[in-house]
């Protein structure tokens, strides 16, 4: 019962997140799970069975055989071709790195280490993704709520997410407008207050995924000591096509030689026995599969990085994305062919949403669907041209009305705050009427 509860507790760490794409899940979810499964399989064979069986002289008692097999497993064995006499192989050649076989002892731990490396970039993304104020994971989780099939729940979630994004985007604009420098010593930390922080961290995480795959392929070559080929998987396939068997190539040999000494009555007897490495039947298939899986991961990472980079860096893709959703929405009179409409969309994208806002909407579109994202884009568009634009213009107008001797720092957000030191402007009534009409429509 305790083991079942422990497994269920660990399941949440092996479950997918909502703020990712298909390429990310291949790296941080599917690959670690595959590596953990292979590690458990190899560990069960190594520590629960007999990974090595050796052939001994008849005079060896049973205790000697068990001792020799344990010694040969813990010590390094070496490979000798089938048609070569062991006695003709010198001691120096036997101890050379090209002959020695030791990787099979560390395969389970090596697979666990690789699983940790594949999981690490996702932890970085999880930590930094909420530092900008836009809690991307919770936003996408709310948008993908199964209860959104009900109109009441869906309307409530759209209103909640719309207000959350408005506040987060307003905070970013305020920081940018006032040019606030929070960290003056280490200026790079101020990036978390910028309007492109989440996008930058996400692209950086994807770059780490790609670099990690390359590092794992090189580490795999070094671990298996496959210096014969620059790339292990390609060399194995070349050997298979060419008809070169493991007896000649030495890759994952099933049969190896073990040298050990036994002390008998002050005499040292040296023995060379032939052992069968049954575990290498599993290792060979596992590492060949992993090599090609890593190669596929690298290709997917390059494609995913390129696609996200282009759609987030080049403004034309952002404008097209927003215009497409507004055209699908219930917004009256929206015509994407109209020049004035295109200017409104461009202003909405570049001066309100910025890169992080577009990133969140694209993530919502991939997880919550087109319909929910369309309604949310429409709600943000109405808010910008209904209230937010008036609030910003009123803020600028009130700054002009301030007197030189009565300056006072006031945090103006809603467009309804006036004092004797900050008298209202003629534009206030219009903003208030728009705000009241919008709130009445929501009610």
Domain boundaries, the chain: 18-126+211-303, 134-183+314-442
DSSP 8-class letter at 146: G
Tokens of 369: 């669907």
The sign one gets for the Cα dihedral 386, 389, 394, 397 is: negative
Band of pLDDT at residue 189, cut at 50, 70 and 90: low
The pLDDT value given to residue 58: 77
Per the listing, tokens 């290498």 go with: 280
Query: 14-18, 136-140, 153-157, 308-312: which has the minimum mean pLDDT?
Result: 14-18
What residues contact 320, with CB distance under 8 A and at least 6 apart? none
d(CA 174, CA 168): 10
Q: CB-side exposure of 258: number of CA atoms within 13 Å? A: 26
Residue 66 to residue 211: CA distance in whole angstroms: 45
Beta-bridge partners for 120: none
Unique residue bearing structure tokens 């070559």: 221
- Give the pair of three-digit tokens for residue 215: 């590092």
Sorting pLDDT into bands at 50, 70 and 90, what band is 387? low
Return the residue matching tokens 């803020």: 395
Highest average pLDDT, of 33-37, 233-237, 245-249, 287-291, comes from 33-37
Q: Is residue 195 pLDDT above 60, yes or no? A: yes
> Residues 45-95: pLDDT tens digits?
777 667 777 887 777 777 777 777 777 777 767 767 666 666 656 666 566
Q: What is the pLDDT of residue 380?
A: 92
The percent of residues above 90 in pLDDT, for the chain, comes to 24
Question: How large is the angle between the packed helices 136-143 and 151-178, nearest 10 degrees?
Answer: 160
Ramachandran quadrant class, 331 (left: phi over 0; alpha: psi -120 to 50; beta: rest): beta
Higher pLDDT, 2 or 245: 245
d(CA 350, CA 173): 11
The whole-angstrom distance between residue 356's C-alpha and the CA centroid of its chain comes to 18
Strand partners, 277: 52
Please report the pLDDT score of residue 98 as a whole number. Answer: 57
Sign of the Cα pseudo-torsion (139, 142, 145, 149, in order): negative
Given a contact cutoff of 8 angstroms between Cβ atoms, the answer to whether 114 and 286 are in contact is no
Single pTM value for the model: 0.75
pLDDT at residue 93 in the model = 58
For residue 423, name the pLDDT band (cuts at 50, 70, 90). Answer: very low
The pLDDT confidence band at residue 374, using thresholds 50, 70 and 90, is very high
Q: Does 123 have pLDDT greater than 80?
A: yes
User: At residue 283, does pLDDT exceed 90?
Assistant: no
Q: Note whether 405 and 360 are within 8 A (CB).
A: no
The sign one gets for the Cα dihedral 431, 433, 437, 443 is: positive
Q: What is the mean pLDDT of residues 136-150?
A: 88
Considering the chain, what percentage of its residues have pLDDT values greater than 70?
68
């Amino acid at each position: 019962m305790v083991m079942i509860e422990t497994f269920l507790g660990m399941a949440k760490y092996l479950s997918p997140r909502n703020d990712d794409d298909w390429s990310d899940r291949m790296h941080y979810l599917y690959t670690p799970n595959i590596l953990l499964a292979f590690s458990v399989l190899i560990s069960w064979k190594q520590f629960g069975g007999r990974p090595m069986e050796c052939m001994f002289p008849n005079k060896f008692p049973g205790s000697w055989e068990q001792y020799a097999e344990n010694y040969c497993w813990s010590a390094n064995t070496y490979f000798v071709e089938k048609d070569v006499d062991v006695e003709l192989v010198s001691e120096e050649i036997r101890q050379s790195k090209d002959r020695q076989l030791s990787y099979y002892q560390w395969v389970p731990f090596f697979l666990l280490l690789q699983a940790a490396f594949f999981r690490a970039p996702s932890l970085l993304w999880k930590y930094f993704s909420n530092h900008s104020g836009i809690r991307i994971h919770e936003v996408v989780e709310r948008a993908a709520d199964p209860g959104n099939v009900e109109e009441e729940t869906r309307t409530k979630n759209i209103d909640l997410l719309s207000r959350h994004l408005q506040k987060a985007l307003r905070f970013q604009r305020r920081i940018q407008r006032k040019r606030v420098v929070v960290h003056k010593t280490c200026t790079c930390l101020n990036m978390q207050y910028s309007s492109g922080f989440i996008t930058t961290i996400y692209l950086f995480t994807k770059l780490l995924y790609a670099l990690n795959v390359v590092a794992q392929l090189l580490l795999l070559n070094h671990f298996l000591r496959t210096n014969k080929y620059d790339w292990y998987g390609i060399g194995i396939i070349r050997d298979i096509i060419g008809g070169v068997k493991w007896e000649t190539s030495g890759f994952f040999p099933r049969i190896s030689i073990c040298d050990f000494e036994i002390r008998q009555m002050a005499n040292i007897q040296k023995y060379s026995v032939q052992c069968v490495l049954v575990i290498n039947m599993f290792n060979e298939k596992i590492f060949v599969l992993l090599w090609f899986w890593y190669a596929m991961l690298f290709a997917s990472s390059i494609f995913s990085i390129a696609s996200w980079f282009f759609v987030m860096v080049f403004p034309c893709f952002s404008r097209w994305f927003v215009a497409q959703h507004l055209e699908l929405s219930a917004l009256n009179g929206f015509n994407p062919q109209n020049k004035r409409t295109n200017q409104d969309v461009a202003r909405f994208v570049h001066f309100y949403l910025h890169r992080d806002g577009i990133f969140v909407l694209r993530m919502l579109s991939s997880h919550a669907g087109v319909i929910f994202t369309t309604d949310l884009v429409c709600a943000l568009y109405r808010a910008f041209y209904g209230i937010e634009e008036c609030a910003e213009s009123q803020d600028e107008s009130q700054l002009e009305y301030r007197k030189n001797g009565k300056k006072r720092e006031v945090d103006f957000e809603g467009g309804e705050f006036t004092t004797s030191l900050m008298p209202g402007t003629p534009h206030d009534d219009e903003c208030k009427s728009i705000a009241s009409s919008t709130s009445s429509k929501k009610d």
